[in-house]
Chains A and B, each alone.
Chain A
Amino acid sequence: MAMLVSTTINGDATDFSCEADETLLDALRNRLSMTGVKEGCGTGDCGACSITLDGALVCSCLVLGAEAQGRSIETVEGMSDGEKLHPLQQKFLEHAALQCGICTPGFLVAAKVLLEKNPNPTESEIRYALAGNLCRCTGYDKIVRAVQDAAAQMRRA
């Protein structure tokens, strides 16, 4: 049974229709062409589909599209402010915190939530906060450094 779902996505009022058993991930990707949200596993184990739902970090593969009714969604597509990249985006580039880049959108969304809650995380806090995001290319070193650097810049700002 198809359902009509009204949401706010990256600040814009957005309606979409989806099947009742369709995940929010599938709805975002297939109905709204928001392919910045990636599918690595579909079972909540890799974090590539990370988004926020009313500010809470979630795997969109573990949310039904129907559950998004009336709620606010943010994805990597909404991170930069026009031409101006979010400090995390900028630092990921500068530190080469991505190689293939498939995990990057999920990491950015998760790191943004982390820094909003904890502007000055320790290395260990960063590592545990990002443990739900798998990266197979970098060994995480440069990702952690990019987050540290972005956090420092955001604290100065």
Chain B
Amino acid sequence: MREKILELLERNSRMTPAEIAVLLGSSEEVIAAEIKKMEDENIICGYNTLVDWDKTGADIITALIEVRVTPTRGQGFDNIAERIYNYPEVQSVYLISGGYDLLVILEGKTLKEVSHFVSSKLSTLDSVISTATHFILKKYKDDGIIFDKKKKDERMPVAP
């Protein structure tokens, strides 16, 4: 039941407990209680809206930054990750296996703003060995949703 609720909310966080109850063959009370529990347990961490900022007037630049770091004794990567994710302009921080350690996703208004963050805040952190910054040119698909897909129903309207 939990997973099914989460799947529905992940696709459409505006769905009400009453609507979910109908789809899953349950009752509004049960669903509402389950959602509340999952919020308390931090399984549901928030309700976001997926925005294609490119279509708005707002100038937003997204950068992927590969960061190599020296893990600190006793703390591993958690300490340095925390120092990075506390910056509000940082959208995501992942610990990665492979050629580098942390993947940082950053949003800024201008190229300058992003490069300023990298050079003055990120690179200067003690444990950071090196960074490589990639700017995102176009988002095709995010969180499972394809941005520019308008689908026309091409089926014949009536068929046996």
Q: Do A and B bind each other?
A: no
Query: Chain B: residues with CB nearer than 8 A to chain A?
Result: none
